[in-house]
Every structure is written in C-alpha cells, then in structure tokens.
Structure 1
Amino acid sequence: MRAADKDEKRSLEVAEASRETEWQQPSFVKEMFMGRLQTDLIFPFPEQDPADKSVGDDILAQVRDYLEKNLDADRIDRTCNIPKPVIAGLAKLGLFGIKIPKEYGGLGLSQINYNRIIHLVASHCASTAVLLSAHQSIGVPQPLKMFGTPEQKQKYLPRLAAGAVSAFALTEPEVGSDPSRMSAQAVQSEDGQSWIINGEKLWTSNGPIAELLVIMVRTNDPGSEKPEITAFIVEGDSPGLETVHRCDFMGLKGLRNGLLRFRDVRVPAENILGGRGEGLRLALQTLNVGRLTLPAASAATMKQALAIAVDFGKSRRQWGAPIGHHEAVAAKIARMSADLFAVDSLTWLTSAMGDAATQDIRLEAAMAKLFCTEAMWRSVDDAVQVRGGRGYETADSLRGRGEAAVPTERLLRDARINLIIEGTSEIMHLFIAREALDAHLKVAGMSATSTRMDVKNAARFYAKWYPLLWLPRPAVFKSVDLPWSLKRHLWFVERATRRLARDLFHRMMLHRQGLQKKQMLLARLVDAGAELFAMTAVIARAGSPEAPPGADKLADLFCHQARRRLSRLHREVYFNDDRRAYRRAREVLDGHYPWLEDNILSTWKGTEPPT
C-alpha cells in the first residue's frame, strides 16, 4: 500500500473511531436522506415558551443598553482591541455564563435565549460576539457541562460564569481537519499525578487572554499508528504556556487569537476531561452544539446587511427613481429578504431542537451552519454591491467626509470567517455526507474504511426500500395544516426528498467505496438536502399561527428560488464536468501551465522563516 493510501486509511480510521456510531434519537435530516419526510419532527414550528421569552427579553434589554452606551464597534475594529472595561461590563451582565446553570453562578438560560443574545451582539460587533461564543459555545463551559465530573464542574464553572475567559485549543500549524496527524503530546509523570504537555496550538480564539483552556493532545507514543487524543483543562497562567504570536485577520480585528506554545506545562491528572482517549469524541460532540450559534450570528449579520441595503435602496436616487426600484437592485433585496427568512427560521428551529433534546441534531446543526453561513456571505456581498463605492469605503472614512458611518465593509470582512470556523463548508459537506450514508453502510454491513459488504442483507433491504421511493406518501400531510400556497411547496419537498434518496442510492451503486472520494458529487447531494431542510423550516414557520406578517410571501419566494437551485443540483448529479475539472486541476498543480502565472510579482514567495 502506498504511503499516501496508508495515511488516508489511518485518517479515516481515526475519524470513524471518534464518530457517534449510534442514533439514539430521531433525526429529521437523517430520515430525509433515506427518502422519508418526517413532518412530525418539524411541524408545528416550535415557538419559544412565553415565560422563557420573557426572561430573554429582560436580559436583552440590558445587553442592548450596555452595547449602545459602552461598545464602539468601529473603535474596536480600528484599535484591534476590546477594552478590558468592556469585557468586565459584559461579565457583570453575566454574559460569560449565559448557559451555565444557576447553581454554579450562571444565568442558566436556554439555547434560544443564548442565541438571541449572541444575535444581538453580533449585529453590532462581530469581534465581541466571537469573544463570547468562543468562550462558551466551544470553550471550557460547554465540554465541561457535557463531560466534566461533579468535582470539575464545582471547581471551574463558577469561575467561568464570573468572567474567566476560556478557549478551545485543537488546531495545530500542520493539523487542521485531520486530527490523526496531531503532534502536541502529553506524557504522564513518573508518580502518575500529573501530565506534562508539549506542543503548539494555532488559531486559538481567546487563547492569548484565556484564564482556562481545554486542549486536545496525544497521550500515547508518537510512534503509534493511531493517536490517542485526550482533552485537558489547563490554567492560562501555567508555567511554560506562552502566546508566541497574536494572529491578525481580514476581519474580527478585536479578537484575541494566537499561536500558543506549551513547553513542559504540568497539568494535574484530575484535569483530564471526559476520560483518556476521549478527546476527539469530546471535541466533535462539543462542536455539534457549538455550531448552533453560527446560524444566529449569520441571521444577525444578514439583518444588518439588509437594513443597510434597504436604507440605501430608498435614499439613493438614480435615473429619476430610488435605486431600490430598479430591477437589478430590487432582485438583490428580494433574494436577501427571502434568504434571511430561511436563515432566521433555521436558527430558531435548531435552537429549539437543542433545548428540547428529543432529537439527534448532529446533522441539523451541521446543515444549518453550512446553509446559513453560505447564505449570509451572499447577502453581505450583495449589500456591498448595492452601496457601490460607499460599500467598499470604511465607516471612519465615510464619517470623516460627512456621511453616515455605515460599516458595510467591516460587515463583509467580519463575515468571511464564518464559512471557515467550526468546520469549513467543504468539511461540512463531507461530514454531512458521511452521516447521511450511515444507514446505507449499516444495511450493507460496510464502513468508511472497509470494502466488505453483506450482499444478501443489502439486497433484502433495497428490494423493499427502493420501489417505495417512486411512490408518493400523502400520509405525511395528514397532521399538517397549511394554506395551499404553502402546502404545494411541502408537496414538492416530499417528492424532492424521495428523489434525493434515489440520487444518493444511484451514485452509491455506481461508485460504491469510491463515493467518499467524489467530493463534488457529495457536495451537490448535501446542498440539495440543505435546500430541502431550509424549505421545510420556512414552510413550517410561515404556516405557524405566530408567523410574522408577510411570512407566507417570503416563504413562497424562497421556495420558488430554492426549487430552481434544486433542479440545477439534481441535473449536475448526473451531468457535470467533475472529471475534466479534476484532471485540469492536477495538471495545473503539476506545473503544466506555467504561463498562467506569467507577468506577476509574488513578493510573498520565499518569505517563510528558516526552520
């Protein structure tokens, strides 16, 4: 076996060993990929409990007042710093313990109210929103609540709720989405009372100012074929722990993010979180919950982008009319509005799912993250285009020449990271595709790392299952009360769900084990699933008695546009240029087209420091 093939097999085996292998609760998206539209998991749309909403309203009023009086988002962007008094004020409001139970000094709020707070903060200052969410969506509080011992919770949660900033350290300079290559290591002391950590962690949000960190490291011999990854809680002021470099990004200028170096950092053995060798599983399950925050932040960004575009669309006049009345600009505003309604609906649907804890939402959270961040990026890009030169100009420059300080370009710079953090869009496609294939792999007695197949069992299952994918299932609509304008779209979703399952099955039979390498094909199937999930959320919300005014019209527009996108995705599952494009890409990488880089000056080449 070639070295590259062995590395790939090892990476897959590590990823497979860290998966949640069983589905203890139902999943709407999982069933959708099997051709079953489980409307009872979505309908009626889950509205927030009035008492819970009242609690959230009270804290939101306090947060809004504090932000207006104390947090200058443009200044934070300009100075690349969130002032310490601002962080202290956020802590005084309890915003570092939003979901930490009251018994440990936290606010003990629901996922919905947590996301409402992050939504409000993100609409004003993305750097501050990430400070809060990196601390408690993926930082120490979340995995500690999920996996910590009673002693660990009692020791750390009160500190975290009071404002001790935390961070999550997983990525390394040479290790991104492939943890099998992790090099940071912990070695147990001779007396067994502690572990000594050495290594580096990159892009650690809040890392340079963190009082507490959860870090993933190897705890077995580096020469072992498979890494044993363990999570540790580490004090930020531990001897040997230093911030080697503060990273500077396109956006999120106020965020403290850096390269951390661990040199003989001694950690007590009781600081292992979740058990030895359980670190990667802990990280993945933490991210499942953490991803619920990104749709809320995306919705907030989109609302701000829409507000900016609408304001300019009404006030700016060209050729005798407001530019928003011209079809080219109106089309952008219409798409932004329809997409925003979908993102907003997915945000509160998945938030409610997280609170209810009656469904397995690993796929729903990942799909919402994927769909919402991609839609958000399109909307922010459209907002910049609508404002033209003013969209490209900084708020400080606009203010300096006497115009409203509209932060459109900051909005765009801050937004781009959302397609990368907590799983890039490409990784989300692969993660969702792997989970979507899980039921098929189990039926066939296969795995992502094995070619063995239980032909008899698979034949028995598919002989019954496949023909049903061609038959409508009207029973799914019996408990769904919708006006015809929405029900016709739900009928389409049901048909398209069966078609999606057929498409997946057809490609699986064609490519078999090789399907996992057909990343563009899998991405189309996942994107189709995301459109159907979003359509279902939109229809359910628009059909709710609590739906906002005009929701049915926006739902109708979104569904029509989604149907066109689904038609294209379905066609490209069977007719595409993937092979041709891959061959050309490999040729470019192999230097067959050097003239494509003619007449450019690349001063960045050769700037790597000597090793």
Structure 2
Amino acid sequence: MSILVPFLAVLLAGGLAAYHRMRLATWAAISACALVACWLLGANAAACIVAAVIVAAITVPLLLPPVRKALVTAPMLKFFRRVLPPLSQTERIALETGSVGFEGELFTGDPDWRKLLDYPKPQLTAEEQAFLDGPVEELCRMIDDWDITHVRADLPPEVWDFVRQHRFFGMIIPKEFSGLGFSALMHHKVIQKISSISSVASSTVGVPNSLGPGELLVHYGTQEQKDYYLPRLASGLEVPCFGLTGPFAGSDATSIPDYGIVCKGQWNGANVLGVRLTFDKRYITLAPVATLIGLAFRMYDPDGLLGDTRDIGITLALLPRDTPGVDIGRRHFPLNSPFQNGPIHGKDVFIPLSQLIGGADMAGKGWNMLNECLAVGRSITLPSTASGGAKFGAVVTGSYARIRKQFGLSIGRFEGVEEALARIGGKAYAISALAQATAAAVDRGDVPSVPSAIAKYHCTTMGREVVSDVMDVVGGKGIILGPKNFAGRSWQAAPIGITVEGANIMTRSLLIFGQGAILCHPWVMKEMKAAQDPDHGAGLEAFDRSLFGHIGFGISNAVRSFWFGLTAARIGAAPGDAYTRRFFRKLDRYSANLALMADVSMLLLGGKLKFKESLSGRLGDVLSHIYMTSAMLKRYHDDGAPQAEQPLLAWAFHHSVHEIELALSAALRNFPVRPVGWLLWALIFPWGRRAEAPGDRLGHRVAALLMAPNAARDQLADGVFLTPCENNPGGRIASYLAKAVAAEPVERKFIKALKTRGIQALDFPSQLDEAVREGLITAEERLQLEELRTLTMDAISVDDFDTEELRSAGYRPGPIGAASREAA
C-alpha cells in the first residue's frame, strides 16, 4: 500500500490545484512538499522517486517557454489551423458583432456570482414611472381587444392617434430628436403591460422601437438622416417597417436574393448616383400602414462606379412609401392576432446613395448592423410580450381557480388543477426574471447576442406552455371567444412569438450554444484569433498563452465536475443568504459541467459540431437554464430576498435544474463518441442523475400563492394591466379574488344549511330569503352571498352571438347544402 501513497499524494495535490485553478508551478511545489512528507512518514522510497520524476517530466518542459513552444505549442498551432472550422459570413459577423456580459461567466466553470449580485438593481426613473402610470395605463384602458381582433382587425383611429400623440413610437429615440429617450428597462415595462391586454397593440408599439429604421438610424444614420427622420418617427408622422425576410430567405438572411444595382437615375428632378432595387419581402410587420420602409438587399456595382468591388454585400436603405415602383401588398392574417403585417414588392425602384442608412460609407455593412439590432430586439420585444402574457395569465387564472367551484370546492383545490397552477406560477416567475435581466443587460451597454437568443427562445416557449395550462384550467371560459374571454386570443397568438425573429427550433439548435461556445468561452475566441494572426511570432506567443490556459481550464472543470458530483454540490463557499446559497452551489456544478462538455465537444467534433444540432440544442438548454436561474436569483436578491416569494423561486429553480440534468444526460447518452460519453458520465454523474422535478408539496404552495391575496402574488402581478374595467375581463376576475375569499366562510355556512337544515326553496334568491327567515344567515351575509354570485357569474360567463354577427362583412350565404352539392 505504501507504494501507492506517493502517487495518491500527487494526484490529490493535482486535484486541489485544479479545483482552485492554481498555476502549474504551484502544483509542482505542492506535489514536491507532499512527496517529501510521504518520504518522511515512511512511504516507499522508490515510489516517491518515481512520482517525483513524473512531476518533473511534466512541469519542467512546460515551465520553460522555449522548450514548451517548440515541442508543444508550434505543432498544436499547426494542427489547430488545419482543423479550425470554416465560418460562414453569417457566423463570422454574428461572432464579431456580439458582446459578452455575465453569460461569459457561465462558461468558466467558476462563475463570479458577486459580479452578478453587484450589478445595480434595474429601476425606472421618475419620468419613466410617470409615463407607465399615466399614458400607458390610459392606453390600456382604451384598448378593446375583441373590437381590435374580431371587428376591426386593426387598432381604432383614436388609439392610433393616442400612441402618436404620446410618442410611443419614439421610446428608443433620444430626446434631442424629439423622442422619449427611455431605457431598455422602460421599453420592457411598456411592452409587458400593453401585451397583457392586447398582443396586437403591443406589437404595434414594439416594432417601431425594435429592429427597424428608428433603431438603425440612431446607431448608424448620417446626421442629416437623423435630423430629418428621427423627429418624424418619434411623433408618428412616419410609421416605419423593415423588410428583411422574403420567400427564399428566412432564417438564412444573408442569402437574400433582393438586389440593388449601382447606377445613375432621377431623384427629385436631378440625375444622381444611386441604386436600382428589385425586391420581394413578406411577413413585414406594419408594412400595410408604413410610410417609411427600411430595406435589406444585396448591393452590386457591375460598372465600378464606386470602386473595384463588384459584390458590395448586404446593405440597408430607406424608402418612402410613395417611391415609384414600391408596391405594398395586401395584408397577411396572423392567427387571429391581426396586427398590421404584409408583403412588400419592388421592381426597378431607384433611390440615391443618400438613402442608404449611414450613407455610402455603410454600403455592404448591413449584416453587421442588423446583427447588433437583432440582438437588442430579441432582448426586449418578444421576451417582454411573453412576460406580460404569462404574468397576467398567472394572476387571473389563480383568481378564476379560486372563484370557480365544482363539487362544492374551488377547482384550484383539486390536485390536477394545482399541478397546472404551479407550472403557470413558476414559469411566469422565470419568464419575468429572464425578460428583465436581458433588458438590464442592454441598459448596461451590452449587445447581448447569446442572452437575447436565450430570452427569445425560452420566454416564448414557456409563454406558450403557460397559456396552454391556462386554457386547461379555465376550460370552456377559454375556448368560447368573445369580449368576456381573457385567454383565447393569447392561445391563438402563442405560435407567433415562437416563429418570428428567428424560428425557435433554429434558435435553440444553432444559435444559443453555437454562438455561446465560441463567443462566451474564455479561451476559444482567443485561440482562433491567434491562429489567424498573420504575424507568426505574435500568433505563436498568443496561442501559447491561450492553449495552456485552455488546457488548465479543461482539467479544472473535469475535477470540479467530479467533485461537485460526488458531494452533490453541498460543500463550498457561495454567495447569497442562508436560503439561496445552496442554489448558487448547484449552479457552480452545472457551470463546470457545461464548460467541460463544451471543451470535449469542440475538441472531438471540431467543425462537425455545428451540424450536431441535437447535441448543440441540449447544451444550449444547459446554458439557458443556468442563465435563467441566475436571473431569478439576481431578481430575488434585488427585491430584498422576500420570504413570500420563496415558493415561486424554488419551483422555478428546481424545474430548471431538472431540465439541466435531463439535457446533460441526453447529451451524454447520445454523444457521438460513445466511450467519451461514458467517461464524461462518470465525471458529471458519479452517483447518477439526481435532480428531480418540483414536488407536489412545493406545487401546492405555489398554487396557493396564486389563489389568495398576498405579497408574492402582488409582486408577480406588478407591471401588467389589471385595472377592472369593461374592456378587461381578466382584470375584473383578478379584482374579485379578495371578496371571494372573504365570502367563503359565509358560503360554507349557507351550503351546510342547504344540506342539513331542510331549506325547501329551489332557486337561489328564494333560498337566501328562507335562510334569512330561519336565522341561518344574517341580512349582511345575504348581501355578501348575492355579491359573490354576481361576481362569480361575471367570472365564469361566456359570450353568445347571432350567426350574422360572426360572418365576415360582405359574406352572403347561398342555399343550405349548395356548397356540398357543387363540390359533388
């Protein structure tokens, strides 16, 4: 046994050094001390010498830079250059334009949680809060979603006028150009609130403040373009849209066939140098009502009028609607959520170079410009829309489940409904935290390409899951459309968020991990840049630093993964309070797992990794849920760690942890190199997969929070439109909860009297009369029960219509059976 002791000592010293990420020289010193101690304590002398020789053989060459570079770095650099996967233009620009915020920490295997917790708490200014409480609240009061979606298929004129008058289209435009100059957080809050009452209204407000002429001009426009267009956009004098997607170019936007040829032509009576455009776009939000069109196209200069480059590349331009040759097509009809959307066509449309966004100097730089703005757009509009819908659904459905009774019991008391309510509440909490976190990242100055993809995918996906559960709970109330239905249109509109700004399947399978593994990894991007450095000496030096940093990083994450797996991440320092410290330790474990899996996958698969979409999607799920849970913990601590919210945080956290382990286990079971997958399983899950989905007891606590007035429910409801007015059936239902709860003891007493005291009356008013006469309830209690019956009827009632009311305008039915006879 004494023969093994020196080798075990060296191994333990290596594990300690790797866990704490000590330098190689430090490991050598610790190993030397350990071997001397073994010698003095009587271990086998020969074994001590052999172990010392092994340590020296590893450390001495690596600690001597000339030897290390000649024997290891130079051959590895040659190999790396040979296997470095080629990047498409789309991929290269995406990597070059994104920035890395806290998500970069999640790839380190040892995140600096203090950095996350030290970020300033996201807060609105007094001016922003006043706008949210004033014009935004007033706008929501004006919105009748049934009128918009069924009667008009559009916002009414007074709503259009209101959003123009109060400059809703200019939230992101600086005040110097007559805009509101709001923060990204405020942008999120506005969209969140409007979307809780109408997805049509929220998309109408959101799109001008997202990807489009306004944002592009703020970042890239010439001074002349900014001075002219931005005030007009802010006031609503110009309504913008942006044409990117076409029939043959959806997710792969760099392959757009729309083109512009540099030539001379007439513009405002003068013969000027410009571009003649031909394009075919579809799915363009606000196109039917737009007065100013932003357009992406590929620009060519066959006659060399601008220089030697013939294929200049993707370029962005501004087209007034009345430009000759521009054709705004008829409207699309998106799933009974009829926001203004339609196609745009153009043939031989001439514009001068001054209409290129940023002028001629920005020609060919359109994809770079779009990537930065797409990241910001994904960070705000779609996550905020999902957040508004999910939070509204959670609060209203919780109230409905308490008010609606079957078998003499609130339906929310049935365990099957409790399960759905728990999912609704937990996911709404997660969506809200994730949407706010990405908005805060934008306000910190990040261009969050990876977090924006995470937020877009997971907020819209979980939002669809939430509304599915809402529909299950409210049953017939949800499937009968009409002014009293608060859920049906959300159910119909759910796939829209899944589809737009990058289909969710593509976002999960390609973008999240595909970009994150390179952009967020602490060493990979540095190695790639070093390998591409034309200066051989400088490239070798940079690659040497990155390569050995990367090797130590990989060894450390393997050790940390194994240690955290053995101890179930119950040991080690972590930030947070007594309640959340265990959560941070778990995230340390999964961060190390992710970093290890990323390194092994990139090492063994190289350029083939981007074609392994299932593996990429699963690792993307791991990254996403670590980021999501970090957003929850940040928000929980920003709010002062309220004890009342702990069930919501716990449910959402344990759900994410369960999803992380499911994704890791699926990635390992299906790893392309099977023996490596088995080895990684032993490191990551030495005791097997242990995380479980949230249990019934926790689910009961979450459901109970949604079904009773309390601080946690109020916090979850913050920021959505719950004013109980005529056009807000969900707001009315939410407002009834306190009265329904207060009336329950009287209701139970009355029901008991019906069963045991022999009340003979059959209808409700007569039963109340008899109960009062017999002294079973008081007159005041009768009034309370009457009020409960009234509000219950409003909560559960649905609409009905004459057949003619449901027919499209202009439709004239033929004789009954005529259509079937004609078909036959």
Whether TM-score is above 0.5 comes out as yes
C-alpha contact (below 8 Å) 1:212/1:233 kept by paired residues: yes
Distance 1:247 1:193, change over 3 A: same
Q: Distance in 2 between matches of 1:486 and 1:514?
A: 39
Residue matched to 1:248: 333
Amino acid at match of 1:38: D
Shift of 1:216: 0.3
Matching residue within 370, 388, 393 for 2:480: 393
Q: 1:251 to 1:26 in 2, by over 3 A?
A: same
**Does 2:371 correspond to 1:284?**
yes
CA contact (8 A) 2:288 2:328 kept: yes
The alignment of Structure 1 onto Structure 2 pairs a total of residues equal to 553
Aligned partners of 1:360 and 1:180: how far apart in 2?
A: 20
- Of 328, 333, 342, which aligns to 1:258? 342
Residue matched to 1:173? 247
Give the counterpart of 2:406 among 311, 318, 322: 318
1:518-562 CA distances to partner (integer Å, 9 max, x unpaired)? 111101111111111111111122123545662233112211221
Tell me the distance in 2 between the aligned counterparts of 1:26 and 1:420.
26
Counterpart position of 1:140: 213
Map of 1:442 onto structure 2: 525
Q: Which amino acid aligns with 2:578?
A: W
User: Helix, strand or coil for the counterpart of 2:315?
Assistant: strand
Does residue 341 of structure 1 match 2:429? yes
Alpha-carbon distance in structure 2 between the residues aligned to 1:181 and 1:283: 14
Q: Please give the per-residue CA displacement for 1:471-512, whole angstroms capped at 9, x wherever unaligned.
A: 3799x99793x2222110110001110011111222223322
Q: Does 1:328 align with 2:416?
A: yes
1:407 lines up with 2:486 in the alignment: yes
AA paired with 1:521?
A: L
What is the alpha-carbon root mean square deviation over aligned residues? Answer: 3.0
Taking a change above 3 Å as real, the CA distance of residues 22 and 409 of structure 1, as seen in their structure-2 partners, is closer
CA distance in 1 between partners of 2:420 and 2:502 (Å): 28
Return the alpha-carbon distance in structure 1 between the equivalents of residues 572 and 276 of structure 2: 59
Shift of 1:18: 2.4
Q: CA deviation at 1:189?
A: 2.2
Q: CA deviation at 1:332?
A: 1.4
Partner of 2:328, secondary structure, is strand
Q: What pairs up with 1:420-459 in 2 under 5 angstroms?
A: 420-429=499-508, 430-438=510-518, 439=521, 441-445=524-528
For normalisation by structure 2, the TM-score amounts to 0.63
What CA distance in whole angstroms lies between the structure 1 residues aligned with 2:390 and 2:139? 19
- Checking the alignment, whether the CA contact within 8 Å between 2:391 and 2:429 is kept in structure 1 is no
- For 1:400, the equivalent position in structure 2 comes to none
Pick from 596, 601, 605: which aligns with 1:507? 601
Q: Which residue matches 2:73?
A: none
Question: How many percent of aligned residue pairs carry the same amino acid?
Answer: 23
Rounded Cα–Cα distance in structure 2 between residues aligned with 1:189 and 1:35: 55
CA distance in 2, matches of 1:302, 1:326: 22
SS in 2 for 1:43: helix
> Do 1:46 and 1:352's aligned partners in 2 also have CA atoms closer than 8 Å?
no
Aligned to 2:577: 483
Q: What residue number does 2:630 align with?
A: 536
Length-normalised TM-score, structure 1:
0.84
Q: Who wins on radius of gyration, i.e. which is larger?
A: 2
TM-aligned CA distance change 1:48 to 1:487, over 3 Å: same
SS of the aligned residue for 1:193 comes to: strand
Question: Does the CA contact (< 8 Å) of 1:524 and 1:573 recur in 2?
Answer: yes
Whichever residue aligns with residue 266 of structure 1, its letter is F
Which amino acid in the other structure matches residue 369 of structure 1?
K
Please list, as runs of the form range in 1=range in 2, the aligned pairs for 1:36-75 lying within 5 A after superposition. Answer: 36-44=110-118, 46-49=120-123, 52-75=124-147
Segments of structure 1 that go 5 or more residues without pairing to the other structure are: 1-9, 397-404, 580-611
Instruction: Check whether the contact 2:288–2:329 (CA below 8 A) recurs between aligned residues.
Output: no
Tell me the amino acid that sits aligned with residue 131 of structure 2: I
- Alignment match, 1:419: 498
CA distance 1:447–1:421, change in 2 (3 Å): farther
Secondary structure, counterpart of 2:329 in structure 1 = strand
SS at match of 1:214: strand
The AA in structure 2 aligned to 1:296 is S
Letter matched to residue 297 of structure 1:
T
Q: Distance in 2 between matches of 1:435 and 1:448?
A: 19
One-letter amino acid of the counterpart of residue 149, structure 2:
D
Runs of 5+ unmatched residues, structure 2: 1-84, 265-270, 303-308, 533-538, 674-824
The letter of the residue matching 1:340 is A
Q: 1:380 aligns with which of 449, 459, 467?
A: 467
Contact between 1:528 and 1:569, CA under 8 Å: does it hold in 2?
A: yes
Q: How far apart are the structure 1 equivalents of 2:165 and 2:530?
A: 50
How far did 1:271 drift? 1.6
Is 1:237 aligned with 2:318?
no
Give me the whole-angstrom Cα distance separating, in 2, the residues matched to 1:356 and 1:256: 32
Distance 1:447 1:172 in 2: 38
- The whole-number CA distance in structure 2 between the counterparts of 1:172 and 1:17 is 22
Displacement of 1:316: 1.9
Amino acid at match of 1:282: M
Partner of 1:5: none
Task: Check whether the contact 2:379–2:451 (CA below 8 A) recurs between aligned residues.
Answer: no
In 2, Cα distance between the equivalents of 1:44 and 1:344? 20
* Residue 112 of structure 2 is aligned to residue 33 of structure 1: no
